[in-house]
Amino acid sequence: MNTANLVEEINVFSEQKLKRKDDLKILLEMSFKNEKSALLENLSFTAKYIRGLERVLKKGSMNPEISNIEQIKQDYTNNIKKLIDQIKELISLADTEVNSYFEERYFKLTQEGFQSLSELLEDLEWTKMYFNRQKRRTTN
């Protein structure tokens, strides 16, 4: 299957919620081209984990019973760094144009950079859920 078709399948699975399809396609292509499927698996897992932490932080700020908010924030920060390192590793064999694009789009410490990274996180979370569904289908 080519990556454009895979991205479209993930988009259909997500009910058209992907926001960074072209960039997701680049990550998938780099994964398949360079035999880095384990890294892609880890990247999508990290993204899904971060999205879960975001949900806990949103609910936790309104819930006084959650006492370990600072620990959750630290875990969130550490995993954002981990995710960025995973993306950098995945695109390390791409040309300088792709690396520069990702650096500018996702790794800059700006509001726009964080928003873009957040949208890519959502797409990677959908990717993880899609892959999980595919695994369940093949094991059943």
Instruction: Band the pLDDT of 139: cuts 50, 70, 90.
Output: confident
In a domain, 22, yes or no: no
Contacts of 15 (CB under 8 A, 6+ apart): none
* Residue 28 neighbours by CB under 8 Å, 6+ apart: 3, 6, 7, 40, 127
Tens-place pLDDT, residues 67-125: 788 898 999 999 999 999 999 999 999 999 999 999 999 999 899 999 999 999 999 99
The three-point CA angle 131-98-74 to 5° equals 60
* 34 has pLDDT over 80: yes
User: Which of the four pLDDT bands, split at 50, 70 and 90, describes residue 1?
Assistant: low
Residue 48 lies in a domain: yes
CA proximity to 26, closest of 97, 82, 85, 83? 97
Q: Please, which residues have CB within 8 angstroms of residue 81's CB and are 6 or more apart in sequence?
A: none
Tell me the pLDDT band of 51, cut-offs 50, 70 and 90: very high
Helix (H) or strand (E) holding 58: helix 37-60
Residue whose C-alpha is closest to residue 22's, from 30, 14, 49: 30
Residue 19: inside a domain: no
Asked, for residue 127, whether it belongs to a domain, the answer is yes
Q: What is the pTM of this model?
A: 0.90
For residue 121, the enclosing domain spans 27-139
Domain membership of residue 58 (yes or no) is yes
* 122: in domain: yes
Any domain includes 118: yes
Total structural domains in the chain?
1
